[in-house]
Amino acid sequence: MTILNWCRASVVLVWLWSPVTLAAKEPLFEDVMAAVVGLRVDVREDARTAKSLGIEREGSGVVIDTDGLIVTIGYLILEARAVSVVLAGGDVVPARILAYDHDSGFGLIRAEKPLGVSPMRLGDSKVVDVLEPGLVASYGGLAHVRPVRIVSRRVFAGYWEYLLENAIFTSPPHPLFGGAALINSDGELIGIGSLVVPDAVAETPLPGNMFVPIEALTPIVDELLAKGRKSMPSKPWLGIYSEETAGQLRVARVADEGPAARAGIESGDIILTVAEQRVASMEDFYRRVWALGNAGVPVSMTVLKGAITRDIVVHSMDRYNWLRIQGRRPD
156: Cβ–Cβ under 8 A, 6 or more apart, which residues?
A: 162, 163, 164, 167, 210
SS3 18: coil
Over the stretch 54-72, which tens digit does the pLDDT of each residue have?
999 999 999 999 999 999 9
- Report pLDDT for 24: 46
Over the stretch 277-323, which tens digit does the pLDDT of each residue have?
999 999 999 999 999 999 999 999 999 999 999 999 999 999 999 99
Residues forming a β-bridge with 299: 314
Q: Strands 133-137 and 106-111, how do they pair?
A: unpaired
Cα separations (Å) of 321 from 226, 229, 260? Answer: 19, 12, 15
User: Mean pLDDT lowest for which of 22-26, 161-165, 311-315, 319-323?
Assistant: 22-26
Q: Where are the domains of the chain?
A: 1-232, 240-322
Residue 197 to residue 135: CA distance in whole angstroms: 17
Cβ–Cβ < 8 Å for 271, 285: yes
Dihedral of the CA atoms 317, 319, 323, 326 (nearest 10)?
A: -100
DSSP for 27-86 reads THHHHHHHTEEEEEEEE-TT-TTHHHH-SEEEEEEEE-STT-EEEEEGGGTTTEEEEEEE
Q: Strands 208-213 and 69-73, how do they pair?
A: unpaired
Containing 251, the helix (H) or strand (E) segment is strand 248-254
Is the entire prediction scored with pTM above 0.75? Answer: yes
Cβ–Cβ < 8 Å for 59, 77: no
- Report pLDDT for 294: 97
- Radius of gyration, CA atoms only, the chain: 21
Which CATH number is correct for 1-232, 3.40.50.800, 2.40.10.120, 1.25.40.10, 3.40.190.170?
A: 2.40.10.120
No. of helices (H) and no. of strands (E), the chain: 7, 18
Q: Is the CATH number 2.30.42.10 carried by domain 240-322?
A: yes
Cα separations (Å) of 13 from 19, 22, 147, 263? Answer: 10, 16, 10, 52
